[in-house]
Amino acid sequence: MALLTVTRSQANPLLAPRTEAVHWWEQHGVFNAAAAECQGKIVLLYRAVDPLMISRLGLAISEDGEHFQRLDLPVVDADPNEPFERLGVEDPRLTPIGDTYYVVYTAASLHRLGEQVPDLAGISADIPWRVRVALMSTRDFKSFTRHGIILPDITAKNAMLAPGKVRGRYVLYYRHGIRPMVGYSDDLLHWTDQEEIRWPPVEPWEALKIGGGAPPLETEKGWLMVYHAVDANRVYRLGLALFDREHPARLIRRVGPILEPEEPYETKGYIPNVVFTCGLVQRDDEILLYYGGADYVIGLARLSLSEALRALE
């Protein structure tokens, strides 16, 4: 692999749980943030977990991408009337389309007592978690419109919209069980023609699961995605994947890991040994990669887009 330097911010972790009573809703962790540029500022829509393990979304805003101001209250609450969201709103990913920011997220809940829990290739749950992919949108990061569950029948998470259409249709990357997949839609709500992404023989760091990380970037070489993979010891690392712009399920090449748990805030936290991303921002040749450390804090790592593309040649 050609030289690729990934540099952690000296200000890491950028965001950690605030402990005052008013911030009770994020006391158990802030991590896995969606990222976007909005009116020249960088916004993070981050997952915040309360002491009862319910997830909500908080908003953090920055000029320089490193120093953030947070709101006192969450911008998206778990909907108590939505049986798919009993455990809340997890792992948002943002994709701007026109003047609207679409947020694809994991709706987390529990199966009803007695309901059959699907066995996902041996990752059957002792705890009856139920996850579904859901969509909301916003124009201003103040009010959010819910569009509901978009993959109603499957246990899927880690979903994100691609930044453009293919043959007139929207493209969704997601992980179904342990498999990375792609689906297509005319209206963002109904997804069909699902394709499995054919992956080369997995490397040890990818042994258990492979899934999307940040929504892909449009580049001259194809769609560039920072993805995550899990090894047999449940260590989460990040790699780079390049997908064919015309055939989004076709992986051109992948390299990695480009980031793995090393720092104390990545090796110790709520879930140890996790670096996990839901969002990045591109500013000229620089990629600002935001990532969750150990399901507890948010860090930033910088890399160069041109170096990333060279590493994938």
| Residues that bind ligand BMA in the complex, under the rule CB under 6 A | 32, 90-91, 236, 271, 274, 276, 292, 295
For ligand BMA, which is the closer residue by CB, 161 or 238? 238
For ligand BMA, which is the closer residue by CB, 122 or 168? 122
CB of 270 to ligand BMA, least distance (A): 8
Q: How many CA atoms lie within 13 A of 257 on its CB side?
A: 22
d(CA 228, CA 51): 27
For ligand BMA, which is the closer residue by CB, 222 or 256? 256
CB of 8 to ligand BMA, least distance (A): 18
In sequence order, what are the beta bridge partners of 300? 290
For ligand BMA, which is the closer residue by CB, 157 or 245? 157
Look up residue 288 and give its two tokens.
């600002």
For ligand BMA, which is the closer residue by CB, 85 or 295? 295
Which residues does 256 contact at the CB level (< 8 Å), separation at least 6?
203, 205, 227, 229, 237, 238, 239, 240
d(CA 79, CA 108): 11
For ligand BMA, which is the closer residue by CB, 90 or 245? 90
CB of 209 to ligand BMA, least distance (A): 7
For ligand BMA, which is the closer residue by CB, 207 or 252? 207
CB of 304 to ligand BMA, least distance (A): 26
Backbone region of residue 79 per phi and psi (left: phi > 0; alpha: psi in -120 to 50; beta: other values): beta
Q: Is 113 exposed, middle or buried (0-12, 13-18, 19+ CB in 10 A)?
A: exposed
CB of 271 to ligand BMA, least distance (A): 4
d(CA 89, CA 56): 5
CB of 32 to ligand BMA, least distance (A): 5
- Side chain identity, residue 279: G
In sequence order, what are the beta bridge partners of 292? 276, 298
CB of 221 to ligand BMA, least distance (A): 28
User: 3-state DSSP call for residue 161?
Assistant: strand
